[in-house]
């Protein structure tokens, strides 16, 4: 075994670790040396969003000790930043195995450092934590979740005083403090229990009242209150608030998918608790078909992502992708606010560089400012903060099934998204239409934009190196043609530089550095390559578009666009 790995193993066997942990290390050493090596070959990286990884013993796993050391580092940074001032944080968690234990561990370490902690009484959606930070005037927060990752994973998301995840300079500064904690002996594990306050129903009520205030057409809901809604929390936290928020909006005909209603970190009915996956939504789809429902909605374990299913123009049930969901929501908020006379001259929306360009077109035609930021809702939150008092934020979102409506939260929020999606469905039903009918109308008005995403997984010790090598090859040897079309523009967000590959002209990109490459072809296709920040994957985003003249041309036009993306994937050797 590698000497460095063995040294770490011996520290865990001989140091101040509990007996159960030491027994698990010994068992791996005896029965699974490969797993032992992977568990200790590096320290689990505290990235700009926090920790995420498989649970288990070792420095490269999520466990009591990696969580505790991360919290000690975050506590040290909060104390350096705020000095002798009273520091307050909120701590929450999702339905994953060990999440409550990790949240309590986090709370106790903060409290032992003299920090006042508001700990949710039980599992709650991540967006409620973001809301609570702002509502209680806290300096930061942590939620223990791995979002939509498989059941083996857990994680730790760190937030700042605006309710958004960490951005510069705080992200790098917290990382520095976390990396400075080199031993579990440096962690204050206990002794501050009096600093912990349990929160629950009162915060729920404040949050739900905020979400209710986002409704644009309560009068339409009253007319369509029996809209047939099917909802699945996919064994996650959505069950705590989504049924209640739909009730408060006025919907009376909500069916919960019982097979997936109970919070369960083993996610027994799905392989991957992600509403982006058709298999994950399949039970809900069956229920929606059986009931002849109007809309199906599903939220991931921490209820920050939402997937929706509707009937298409042929009466067949289909799942909308994240770009379509975002376009529907953005268009609704812009158009409805204008129709109700509540739009403001300085209204603005925020999207990300890998999300459909259709949002930019919708905003342009509605004369609403549209800002494009890096992937991740922390950048949307940062843009709101940057423009506070100058521009009026309405909605933000990205292709990964995330929406953030209104500025009283600063992270993606599936609870409010479910409510607004149902309001949108009610609004269209009141006109004798479906959300899919609306989608086709939007394609005719703004252009038919079509997107796809593929992820290539590279696990283990060599996975990161392989992904880095792929990115470097694309960066130094960009393709001259993709699917028969010349590549005219290369946007390199790591180098913060755009290049016209035909003329050699370059220009600066005014966004923070990020390891993303985009290729734009002569026919308007856009291909983005980006290593995931939370999973051992490299993601490729494909976007193509054309015009849609009539509703009758929808199917044939979609096939043309699908084939164009297939050609792009094939020509890049990504199949």
Cα 115 from chain centroid (whole Å): 28
Supply the pLDDT for residue 196.
98
Residues in CB range of 340: below 8 A, 6 or more apart: 216, 217
In CATH, the number for domain 207-216+223-446 is 3.40.120.10
Kindly state the average pLDDT of the residues 7-14.
96
Residues with a known catalytic role: 147
Q: What is the pLDDT of residues 112-150, one digit of tens each?
A: 999 999 999 999 999 999 999 999 999 999 999 999 889
3-state SS, residue 376? coil
Question: Who wins on pLDDT, 353 or 84?
Answer: 353
Model confidence at 12, in pLDDT bands (50, 70, 90)?
very high
In CATH, the number for domain 42-199 is 3.40.120.10
Model confidence at 575, in pLDDT bands (50, 70, 90)?
confident
How far apart are the C-alpha atoms of 167 and 157, rounded to whole Å? Answer: 12
Residue with tokens 């164009």: 564
How far apart are the C-alpha atoms of 491 and 516, rounded to whole Å? Answer: 8
Residue 459 has pLDDT above 80, yes or no: no
From the list 375, 425, 432, 363, the residue with the least C-alpha distance to 400 is 375
pLDDT above 90 coverage of the chain, percent: 93
Model confidence at 49, in pLDDT bands (50, 70, 90)?
confident
Domain boundaries, the chain: 42-199, 207-216+223-446, 450-571
Model confidence at 533, in pLDDT bands (50, 70, 90)?
low
pLDDT above 70 coverage of the chain, percent: 99
The pTM of this model reads 0.94
Specify the DSSP class assigned to residue 468: H
Reported as half-sphere exposure (CB side, CA atoms, 13 A), residue 392 has a value of 10
Supply the pLDDT for residue 126.
98
Model confidence at 84, in pLDDT bands (50, 70, 90)?
confident
Fold agreement (42-199, 207-216+223-446): yes
Kindly state the average pLDDT of the residues 201-214.
98
Q: Which helix (H) or strand (E) holds 119?
A: strand 116-120
Specify the DSSP class assigned to residue 459: -
Phi, psi (rounded to 5 degrees) for 421:
-60, -40
Residue 534 has pLDDT above 70, yes or no: no
3-state SS, residue 280? coil
Give ∠ CA 152-179-120 in degrees, rounded to 5.
55
Describe the crossing of helices 33-40 and 19-31 by its angle, rounded to 10 degrees: 130
Burial of 570 (0-12, 13-18, 19+ CB in 10 A): exposed
Specify the DSSP class assigned to residue 458: -
Q: SS3 string of 156-183?
A: EEEEECCCCECCCCHHHHHHHHHHHCCC
**N-term to C-term CA, the chain:** 36
Model confidence at 16, in pLDDT bands (50, 70, 90)?
very high
Is the domain covering 450-571 a CATH 3.30.310 domain?
yes
From residue 143, alpha-carbon distances to 132, 377, 573 in Å are 12, 15, 39
Supply the pLDDT for residue 486.
95
Phi, psi (rounded to 5 degrees) for 50:
120, -145
Q: What is the pLDDT of residues 68-82, one digit of tens each?
A: 999 999 999 999 999
Q: Are 34 and 52 contacting, i.e. CB atoms less than 8 angstroms apart? A: no
Residue-wise over 191-210: b if at least 16 C-beta within 10 A, else e?
A: ebeebbeebeeebbeebbeb
How far apart are the C-alpha atoms of 119 and 88, rounded to whole Å? Answer: 11
Extract the runs of DSSP E, i.e. beta strands, from 222-294: 229-232, 254-256
Q: SS3 string of 559-572?
A: HHHHHHHHHHHHHC
How far apart are the C-alpha atoms of 229 and 253, rounded to whole Å? Answer: 6
Kindly state the average pLDDT of the residues 180-203.
97
How far apart are the C-alpha atoms of 116 and 568, rounded to whole Å? Answer: 53
Residue 461 has pLDDT above 80, yes or no: no
Q: Are 304 and 380 contacting, i.e. CB atoms less than 8 angstroms apart? A: no
Kindly state the average pLDDT of the residues 214-230.
97
Q: Are 276 and 307 contacting, i.e. CB atoms less than 8 angstroms apart? A: yes
From residue 275, alpha-carbon distances to 281, 326, 331 in Å are 6, 14, 22
Summary mean pLDDT of the chain: 95
Give ∠ CA 390-411-165 in degrees, rounded to 5.
90
Q: Are 267 and 280 contacting, i.e. CB atoms less than 8 angstroms apart? A: no
Q: Are 125 and 143 contacting, i.e. CB atoms less than 8 angstroms apart? A: no
Q: What is the pLDDT of residues 417-436, one digit of tens each?
A: 999 999 999 999 999 999 99
- Cα dihedral 36, 38, 40, 45 sign: negative
Supply the pLDDT for residue 443.
98
How far apart are the C-alpha atoms of 485 and 327, rounded to whole Å? Answer: 27
In the chain, helix, strand, coil percent, each to 5? 40, 20, 35
How far apart are the C-alpha atoms of 381 and 366, rounded to whole Å? Answer: 23
Tokens of 220: 């339409």
Kindly state the average pLDDT of the residues 495-520.
95
Kindly state the average pLDDT of the residues 374-380.
94
How far apart are the C-alpha atoms of 458 and 464, rounded to whole Å? Answer: 7
Q: What is the pLDDT of residues 283-310, one digit of tens each?
A: 999 999 999 999 999 999 999 999 999 9
């Amino acid at each position: 075994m590698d000497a460095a790995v063995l040294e770490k193993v011996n520290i865990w066997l001989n140091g101040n670790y509990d007996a159960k942990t030491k027994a698990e290390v010994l068992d791996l050493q005896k029965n699974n040396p490969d797993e032992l090596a992977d568990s200790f070959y590096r320290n689990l990286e505290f990235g700009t969003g926090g920790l995420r990884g498989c649970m288990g013993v070792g420095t490269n796993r999520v466990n009591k000790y990696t969580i505790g050391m991360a919290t000690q580092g975050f506590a040290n940074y909060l104390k350096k930043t705020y000095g002798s001032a009273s520091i307050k944080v909120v701590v929450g968690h999702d339905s994953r195995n060990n999440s409550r234990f990790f949240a309590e561990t986090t709370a106790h370490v903060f409290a032992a450092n003299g920090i006042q902690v508001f700990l949710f009484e039980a599992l709650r959606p991540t967006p409620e934590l973001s809301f609570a930070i702002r509502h209680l005037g806290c300096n930061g927060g942590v939620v223990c979740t791995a979002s939509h990752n498989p059941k083996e994973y857990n994680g730790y998301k760190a937030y700042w005083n605006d309710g958004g995840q960490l951005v510069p300079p705080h992200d790098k500064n917290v990382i520095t403090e976390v990396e400075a904690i080199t031993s579990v002996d440096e962690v204050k594990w206990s002794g501050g229990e009096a600093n912990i306050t349990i929160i629950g129903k009162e915060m729920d009520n404040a949050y739900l009242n905020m979400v209710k205030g986002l409704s644009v057409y309560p009068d339409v809901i009253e007319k369509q209150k029996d809209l047939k809604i099917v909802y699945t929390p996919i064994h996650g936290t959505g069950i705590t608030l989504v049924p209640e928020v739909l009730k408060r909006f006025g919907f009376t005909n909500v069916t919960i998918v019982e097979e997936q209603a109970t919070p369960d970190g083993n996610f027994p009915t799905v392989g991957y608790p992600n509403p982006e996956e058709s298999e994950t939504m399949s039970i809900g789809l069956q229920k929606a078909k059986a009931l002849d429902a109007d809309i199906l909605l599903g939220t991931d374990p921490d209820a920050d992502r939402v997937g929706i299913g509707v009937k298409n123009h042929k009466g067949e049930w289909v799942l909308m992708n994240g770009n379509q969901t975002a376009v529907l929501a953005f268009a609704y908020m812009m158009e409805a606010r204008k129709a109700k006379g509540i739009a403001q001259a300085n209204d603005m929306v925020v999207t990300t560089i890998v999300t459909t360009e259709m949002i930019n077109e919708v905003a342009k035609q509605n004369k609403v400012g549209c800002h494009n930021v890096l992937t991740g809702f922390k950048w949307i939150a940062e843009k709101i903060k940057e423009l506070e008092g100058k521009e009026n934020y309405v909605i933000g979102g990205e292709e990964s099934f995330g929406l953030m409506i209104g500025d009283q939260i600063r992270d993606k929020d599936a609870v409010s998204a479910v409510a607004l999606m149902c309001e949108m469905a009610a609004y269209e039903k009141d006109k004798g239409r479906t959300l899919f009918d609306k989608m086709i109308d939007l394609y005719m008005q703004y252009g038919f934009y079509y997107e796809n995403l593929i992820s290539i997984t590279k696990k283990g010790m060599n996975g990161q190196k392989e992904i880095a090598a792929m990115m470097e090859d694309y960066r130094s040897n960009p393709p001259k043609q993709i699917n028969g079309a010349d590549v005219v523009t290369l946007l390199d967000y790591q180098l913060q530089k755009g290049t016209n590959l035909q003329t050699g002209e370059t220009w600066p990109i005014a966004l923070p550095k990020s390891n993303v490459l985009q290729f734009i072809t002569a026919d308007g296709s856009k291909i983005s390559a980006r290593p995931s920040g939370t999973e051992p994957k490299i993601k490729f985003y494909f976007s193509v578009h054309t015009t849609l003249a009539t509703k009758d041309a929808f199917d044939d036009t979609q096939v043309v666009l699908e084939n164009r993306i297939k050609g792009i994937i094939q020509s890049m050797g990504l199949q």
